[in-house]
Amino acid sequence: MISGFFIFNQKGEVLISRLYRTDLRRSIADVFRIQVISNSDVRSPIITIGSMSFFHVRINNLYVLACTKNNANAALVFEFIYRFISIAKSYFGKVDEEAVKSNFVLIYELIDEIIDFGYPQTSETDTLKLYITTEGVKTQPAPEESSKITVQATGLTSWRRADVKYKKNEAFVDVVETVNLLMSAKGTILRADVDGHIMMRAYLSGTPECKFGLNDKLVLDKSERGVQGAVELDDCRFHQCVRLETFDSDRTISFIPPDGEFELMKYRSTSNVNLPLKIIPTINEIGTTQVSYLVSLKANFNNKLNATNVVIRIPTPLNTTNVDCKVAVGKAKYVPAENYIVWKIPRMQGGSETTLSGTADLTAMTHRQAWARPPIDVDFQVLMFTASGLLVRFLKVFEKSNYQSVKWVRYLTKASGSYQIRF
Amino acid sequence: MSKAGEDAKFFQRGKIEEFRKELQEAETKDKKFIKRKTALKKIVANITMGNDMSPLFPDVVQCLVTPSLEIKKMVYLFLVSYGRSRPNQVEYVIPAFLEASDCHDRNPLIRALAIRTMSYIPLQAVLEALVDPLRASLRDKDPYVRKTAAICVAKLFFHDAVLVERESFIDMLRDLLADANSTVVSNAVAALMEISERSDKISLKLNFTVANKLVMAMGECSEWGQIYILDSLLSFVPQTCQEAEQLADRIVIRLQHANSAVVLTSIKVLLFLMNYMDNKKVIEFLCRKMGPPLVTLLSSGPEVQYVALRNILLIIQRRPTVLRNDVKVFFCKYNDPIYVKLAKLEIMYRLAREENAKEVLAELQEYATEVDIDFVRKAVRSIGRLAIKVEPASDMAIQVLLELIDNKVSYVLQEAVIVIKDIFRRYPGKYEGILPKLCQNIDVLDEPEAKAAMIWVIGQYAFRIDNSEELLDDLLYSFLEESAEVQLSLLTASVKLFVYKSNSTRAKDLVHKVLKWATEEVDNPDLRDRGFMYWRLLAISPATAGEIVLAEKPPISTDTDRMERGALDQLLLHTGTLASIYHKNPETFIRNARGKALVDSPALNENSRRVLISLPDAYMPGPAPNIPPPPTPSTKPRSTRDTSPDSAGDVSNPASPAVGPPVPHDPYANLESVFGGAYDADVPRPMTDGPGRRGTVVDDEDLLF
């Protein structure tokens, strides 16, 4: 298991170092600095030197590192680092050098609590916040109160306090779908799939028992495929709070939610994906001096909806000197530093169509190398639309005090860096 | 009160004396202990920066009596950092202190904190003093204290195994397996696993009842606890197929968990249990269940994706039905990190078959124009391997390779030549039409492997290439400067040329020149001996020489680049761990690591038993550090990546013996040769402290204390 936990800044200075085992020394940080931080060509998030293995994750300008000297569970180590990052985010907003330095005592306190002898322990933010607070400990918690904490930290619903109270009981459900598209130059879809996340913000009093329902025709097993009009999910995964046994037996999603925001469910769908934006590029190299562009864009969804923050990055050859392009909607600009034409459209109505046309001038190169033609990349957001067709049918809340609760559901389909069209 | 969130200002190097003074001043007039807190924060920041703060030991320890949890925690951190280096002072302070207060505090958080901290200080006096409080804590009424105490036993064992055994803590730990609280149970499991990993005497063995109970408890555990329990299930050996099936049935639902480590560890257990099943339907069902969660792992962060991909590569070799139809999800995204791309490429090749070869090839062709050189080379190699693996796709693969050659990118060209040589060997007489095209590009080749491949082609097809004498003559100019690999193939190619064109004076001159060089001017004994052999062969009977040199070669296939079954079964016991990243058993690269092997039982599947690899009786520790692993035998004459078709086997005995059974103790020893040559360069592997690296890498010894 984990022998040491470190945080470095970009310069390789140690911001946090905590050893859990005596099989390493603090100077191990130097090895990491030489092998990874000052190495311009790091080709793996895991390196093993001698018997020591280094697992690192980069976030903003930081390196978060866990070291181990045994055959550790690599997935667990990375999941733990991710979890640390999300706990840190929840405690002090952002995770960067500034934040780590400003909260280093708190971080030491946290990492003492969430790992013991290299074994990850309680890592539910909600519970941790009961006894590790940013305000410093004003008074020591009374023993009775501490017992409540310890029971929760080790108990059945370690993610929720018992005494949550709200005047108004509300639950917000956000269905967020990320569309991944890879289209070949010939216009065939190589892959199109949806990574869905159902985020929930629960502001509910007491210990509410929730039941969650999706589309009536929801197919989860490949063998049942082919049902007309059904939404087919390839796989779904649930937050720790969801009772997997019940889901397995009768497909109902039942749980006692943590207080506040959490990710209830993740899913993946590869069939019947509705692609919200259609891009048809016609890009030709004219001799060795010019490239002509004609990129048309169609919003392929209900005209009552809008796509927002549409950003299309159209690659240009490395030896481009100047780009002249025209667009009817939005703004297009050549960004020489990134070798892209960036076309931004703040809002685009469903059903509408628009094009970009232009030419790029190239300089002559003595050593001509073929242009690698990286794919066109599109980012966008469409509210109240799901590419998979998934809908939330109901969210029921049962609590012994029988209060009324208000539920809100939002849908968002987006792409960022994963909607790619080759040409 | 110093609010957290403003601590950055303490991140400054300071002097011991200043801090001491500050602490002393804080002893008076320190309302709410603000002065002390500030001083301690500065000290902690300095510890982090690597400043030695240990001289402050007595001063800091003084603060322990301050009734503030925040201060207490900082002092504990100080103790954990420097306790080891100040044995005398610790011995005075701590034991007495332990007895006196914290361990009997009414607050369970503080009781737990006390034993947790003390057990981090590996000094005999502290450990001895810990025994009684620990015993009490293991029976504490508060589950939080018990779960902390369980891990403490493992810590204690790490430092002093004898003490733990003497005080019979192991039995107490075993009792905790039946604790009412699931978190306590899972920590006890983790502790017992850790101990049995280190001990020769104690090993965790579960029977069906206990295993079942643990699985039941899993539903109430934290995600990490679930992983500890899942891990422990490998210490259960099913005695009947029913046991294995029942347990698997309960574990399958864990595949839906959000934590990828829970998913991968569940898969490990399922794969393990499948060895003890005979019902094909159940096995199929489980395989079907495993696919989608594995794919979903690819939407995690890139690091977890990488772990998943390396594991998928192993799993699909053992259970080919898993992900059989999912090759598309492994297509690379343009912005995937390079390690993800390389891992995906390998899987794409594995999953390629007749039905999807077209798509895969088109995809590989796309990659061959990207910018990362390693990735491009591997893509080109994969095209060639695909041609060899999937016969119906070979035409298209050749087409793609020719297109790539036309791009004239040097490293693409070199890679293409290397794989085309193999394609020629796989499909003799089918693609020789492209010879002229290859010959046009000879001048670009500057890498030994590519050069050697091209020379082999010229020699082998000397009768079809009109200007073969001329080409070979050109290549021979630099004979004496070439690497051994190229020299060897030049030698053989010249002999072949002479055999084909024995009437040509130029060929005669050539072979004479080369033989003279090889036998008189070169120091390499291989080359010299081969030179002498050819020479005598030709001198005695040119006809026989021809028969031998041009003997029909065994066709190559890709069968050998699949890992041996028994070895796979063994490696899959490490699914999700470091070993699964490197595809090596942990005992081969981690010192003191334990090997794992399937255990025979009446339920063990016939197929698994046949290839069963058992661990050596006496436990063999891994290789000592700094000794590079023994050179891997490259005796795989029929492998696709056999880079030396001209090696002696080709000359002396075409039907060279097939690969013998793997060496029992290290079945992976010869796997590395599978991909041979430069192709190997990007395969993840632990770094050994080889001579080339000395200087940049700290010795393993140095990493110890």
In a domain, B618, yes or no: no
pLDDT, residue B433, reads 86
Q: Which of B227, B302, B684 sits opposite A76 (nearest CB)?
A: B227
B594 and B533 co-located in one domain: no
**pLDDT tens digit sequence for A200-243:** 999 999 889 999 888 767 776 655 556 666 788 888 899 989 98
- Chain B partners of A121 at a C-beta cutoff of 8 Å? 147, 187, 222, 224
B495 and B455 co-located in one domain: yes
Beta-carbon separation of A150 and B145 below 8 A: yes
Beta-carbon separation of B109 and A23 below 8 A: no
Interface test with A, best of B42, B109, B141 (most A CBs within 10 A): B109
Of B432, B430, B507, B431, the closest CA to residue B467 belongs to: B507
Q: Rounded to an integer, what is the distance from CA A407 to the centroid of its chain?
A: 24
**B182 within 8 A of B144, measured Cβ to Cβ:** no
Structure tokens at A291: 């490239």
Q: Which of B4, B41, B576 sits opposite A73 (nearest CB)?
A: B576
Question: What residues contact residue B139 under an 8 Å CB cut-off, 6+ apart?
Answer: B146, B172
Distance from CA of B357 to the nearest CA of A (A): 13
For strands A406-415 and A376-383, give the pairing.
antiparallel
In a domain, B367, yes or no: no
Report which DSSP code applies to A128: H
Please report the sign of the dihedral spanned by the C-alpha atoms of residue A24, residue A29, residue A33, residue A34. negative
Please state, in angstroms and rounded to a whole number, the distance separating the CA atoms of residues B172 and B181.
Answer: 15
Q: Rounded to an integer, what is the distance from CA B401 to the centroid of its chain?
A: 31
- Chain B partners of A191 at a C-beta cutoff of 8 Å? 328-329, 331
In a domain, B227, yes or no: no
Report which DSSP code applies to A136: -
Last residue of a domain, one of B572, B602, B632: B602
Beta-carbon separation of A375 and B50 below 8 A: no
Of B636, B561, B628, B617, the closest CA to residue B588 belongs to: B628
Beta-carbon separation of A14 and B48 below 8 A: yes
CA-nearest residue to A83 within chain B is B259
**B374 within 8 A of B681, measured Cβ to Cβ:** yes
Range of the domain at B578: 562-602
Please state, in angstroms and rounded to a whole number, the distance separating the CA atoms of residues A76 and B260.
Answer: 8
Query: Cβ of B546: how many Cβ atoms within 10 Å?
Result: 18
Q: Which three-class secondary structure string do you get for B479-506? A: HHHCCHHHHHHHHHHHHHHHHHCCCCHH
Instruction: Report the percent of chain B where pLDDT is more than 70.
Output: 85
pLDDT, residue A20, reads 93
Q: Which of B253, B333, B687 sits opposite A420 (nearest CB)?
A: B333
Residue ranges of chain B with per-residue pLDDT less than 70: 1-5, 30, 93-103, 558-561, 616-682, 688-705
In a domain, B634, yes or no: no
Neighbour-count burial of B616, counting CB atoms closer than 10 A to its CB (0-12 exposed, 13-18 middle, 19+ buried): exposed
Structurally, how many domains does chain B consist of?
A: 2
pLDDT, residue B647, reads 40
B540 and B488 co-located in one domain: yes
Q: Which of B158, B576, B699 sits opposite A74 (nearest CB)?
A: B576
- Chain A partners of B592 at a C-beta cutoff of 8 Å? 51
B509 and B486 co-located in one domain: yes
Beta-carbon separation of B371 and A372 below 8 A: yes
**A222 within 8 A of A198, measured Cβ to Cβ:** no
For strands A260-269 and A189-203, give the pairing.
antiparallel
CA-nearest residue to B70 within chain A is A137
The phi-psi region of residue B523 (left if phi > 0; otherwise alpha if psi is between -120 and 50; otherwise beta) is alpha
pLDDT, residue B656, reads 36
- Chain B partners of A53 at a C-beta cutoff of 8 Å? 578, 686
Question: What residues contact residue A246 under an 8 Å CB cut-off, 6+ apart?
Answer: A252, A254
CA-nearest residue to A13 within chain B is B49
| Complete domains list, chain A, with CATH | 4-154 (3.30.450.60), 170-273+386-421 (2.60.40.1170), 277-383 (2.60.40.1170)
Please report the sign of the dihedral spanned by the C-alpha atoms of residue B234, residue B235, residue B236, residue B239. positive
Beta-carbon separation of A57 and B109 below 8 A: no
pTM of the model as a whole: 0.86
B573 and B526 co-located in one domain: no
- DSSP structure string for B132-145: HHHHHHHT-SSHHH
CA-nearest residue to B593 within chain A is A70
Q: Give me the helices (H) in B352-480, please.
A: 357-367, 373-389, 394-406, 410-426, 435-440, 448-460, 468-476
In a domain, B403, yes or no: no
Question: What residues contact residue A289 under an 8 Å CB cut-off, 6+ apart?
Answer: A361, A362, A364
pLDDT, residue B241, reads 93
CA-nearest residue to A12 within chain B is B49
Please state, in angstroms and rounded to a whole number, the distance separating the CA atoms of residues B571 and B275.
Answer: 13
Provide block-wise average pLDDT over 10 residues at a time, chain A (423 residues): 94 92 88 90 89 93 94 96 94 90 90 93 85 62 75 79 87 94 88 92 91 78 63 88 85 89 91 91 89 93 93 92 92 92 94 93 78 90 92 90 90 91 90
CA angle B3, B4, B8 (to 5 degrees): 110
Q: Which of A120, A191, A238 sits opposite B256 (nearest CB)?
A: A238
pLDDT, residue A343, reads 95
B540 and B445 co-located in one domain: yes
Please report the sign of the dihedral spanned by the C-alpha atoms of residue A15, residue A20, residue A21, residue A22. positive
Q: Sheet of A209-214: strands edge to edge?
A: A253-255, A209-214, A392-398
B524 and B485 co-located in one domain: yes
Of B47, B49, B38, B48, the closest CA to residue B10 belongs to: B38
B456 and B477 co-located in one domain: yes
Please state, in angstroms and rounded to a whole number, the distance separating the CA atoms of residues B647 and B495.
Answer: 13
Interface test with B, best of A116, A241, A378 (most B CBs within 10 A): A116
Beta-carbon separation of A105 and B254 below 8 A: no
pLDDT, residue A224, reads 59
Neighbour-count burial of B205, counting CB atoms closer than 10 A to its CB (0-12 exposed, 13-18 middle, 19+ buried): exposed
**B445 within 8 A of B451, measured Cβ to Cβ:** yes
Query: Cβ of A33: how many Cβ atoms within 10 Å?
Result: 18
**pLDDT tens digit sequence for B134-191:** 999 999 999 999 999 999 999 999 998 899 888 889 999 999 999 989 999 999 999 9
Please state, in angstroms and rounded to a whole number, the distance separating the CA atoms of residues A358 and B665.
Answer: 65
Question: What residues contact residue B193 under an 8 Å CB cut-off, 6+ apart?
Answer: B204, B228, B231, B232, B235
Residue A62, H or E segment: strand A62-68
B454 and B529 co-located in one domain: yes
In a domain, B512, yes or no: yes
**A146 within 8 A of A137, measured Cβ to Cβ:** no
In angstroms, the Cα distances linking B198 to A305, B157, B201, B232, B247 are 62, 9, 9, 15, 27
Please state, in angstroms and rounded to a whole number, the distance separating the CA atoms of residues A345 and A279.
Answer: 14
Structure tokens at B4: 């957290």
**B419 within 8 A of B381, measured Cβ to Cβ:** yes
Q: Which of A76, A191, A370 sits opposite B369 (nearest CB)?
A: A370
Count of A-B CB contacts under 8 Å: 348
Query: Cβ of B537: how many Cβ atoms within 10 Å?
Result: 18
Unique residue bearing structure tokens 């240009």? A316
In a domain, B28, yes or no: no
In a domain, B518, yes or no: yes
ipTM of predicted complex: 0.87
